[in-house]
Structure 1
Amino acid sequence: MFVAWTLTVAASDLRHRRVANASIVAGLIAAFACAFTARMPFGIAPAQAALGALLGLAALLPFFALHVMGAADVKVFAVLGAWCGPHALLDLWIAASILAGLHALALLLATRTRLATLVRSGEATFELRGHRATPYVTCLGIPALGMLALRQLGGA
């Protein structure tokens, strides 16, 4: 379920730069259902799932308030906190931020946009093929899936 949910929200973000609230709710319900039935891919207990969700929400909410991050990014990070636990959030955030930075650099190169032009224009984002901004949900999903793969390979 975790893999299917993560791929679904990542694909939606990548393609449309939107994640439906129904997908967020479904992921949260699935995370807690797995926690209560001891079928979590990351071995997270219900209390850890709740703490992870709250910390995930609290960690990125200020960025949403400052208009530098979308609501879906914040909500997905909270759901990932429920799935992966609070201990995984910092690693996910760092890895996702590195991926987002690489994506922004690739966009700069692909659009041949000079960084100085962005700074002078006052615009926070730039566009490529009608898509604005970096698909941060996708950037969050990639390391989350990587963490699961490492867990499965390591037998932990």
Structure 2
Amino acid sequence: MLSIESAIFIAWALAIVIFDWRRRLIPNALIIVGASCALAFAAAHISPFDTSIGVALIGFGAGFVALMPFHLLGMMGAADVKAFAVLGAWCGPRALVGIWVAASLAAFVHALVLLARRRAVFALRDLPDTATLEERRRNSTPYGALLAAAAIGHLALFATGAHA
């Protein structure tokens, strides 16, 4: 049976998926709620990932440090970094590698689809391959959504005992 803590995590992660997929942004309020729940559940020893408060704090830091260079290089938004940090607080640092790999593979496939679609549209229009800032944003990969979806998958594996 699904625990209330697991249901709260899934609801939070799905909110990340929906916001990032539709708007290409993740509200700071959603980040704060996720971090608060992750740390509170860890402190109360009721984390759906059996994460202690110490492990949750290490996971938060690890998630932040791992993706910050990509943000500083302009390769991803700050919200993606913050979301990964919060996922680290929920899942712990050991889970972050698998979540990152799964999300990155999905992002690669998404980027290939976007590229193929974009080239087809411009070929049909016989136009140069230029896009406005709004089109670039709309055609970007919602990495936070993919990270959150991968974390939901990790919870499913964790719940069945299939995690490493």
Q: TM-score range by the shorter chain?
A: 0.7 to 0.9
Residue ranges of structure 1 left out of the alignment (5+ in a row): 115-120
Q: How far 1:25 sits from its partner (Å)?
A: 0.5
Cα 1:102–1:43 shift into 2, 3 Å: same
Kindly report which structure 2 residues correspond to 1:1-156, keeping only aligned pairs within 5 A, or say none.
Answer: 1-112=8-119, 127=135, 131-154=138-161
Greater C-alpha radius of gyration: 2
Q: How far 1:133 sits from its partner (Å)?
A: 1.0
Secondary structure of 1:112's partner?
Answer: helix
Q: Distance in 1 between the 2:112 and 2:80 partners?
A: 20
Q: Distance in 1 between the 2:134 and 2:148 partners?
A: 22
> Would you say the 8 A contact 1:31–1:83 is kept in 2?
yes
> Would you say the 8 A contact 1:126–1:133 is kept in 2?
no
Cα 1:17–1:50 shift into 2, 3 Å: same
Cα 1:155–1:134 shift into 2, 3 Å: closer
Q: How far 1:154 sits from its partner (Å)?
A: 2.9
Q: How far 1:122 sits from its partner (Å)?
A: 9.9
TM-score with structure 2 setting the length:
0.83
CA RMSD of aligned residues (A): 2.3
Percent of pairs with identical residues = 44
Deviations 1:30-77 (A, max 9, x none): 001110111111100000000000010001111111111100000000
Q: Distance in 1 between the 2:28 and 2:76 partners?
A: 16
Q: How far 1:112 sits from its partner (Å)?
A: 2.8
Residue ranges of structure 2 left out of the alignment (5+ in a row): 1-7, 122-128
Secondary structure of 1:48's partner?
Answer: helix
Corresponding pairs, count: 148
> Would you say the 8 A contact 2:114–2:139 is kept in 1?
no
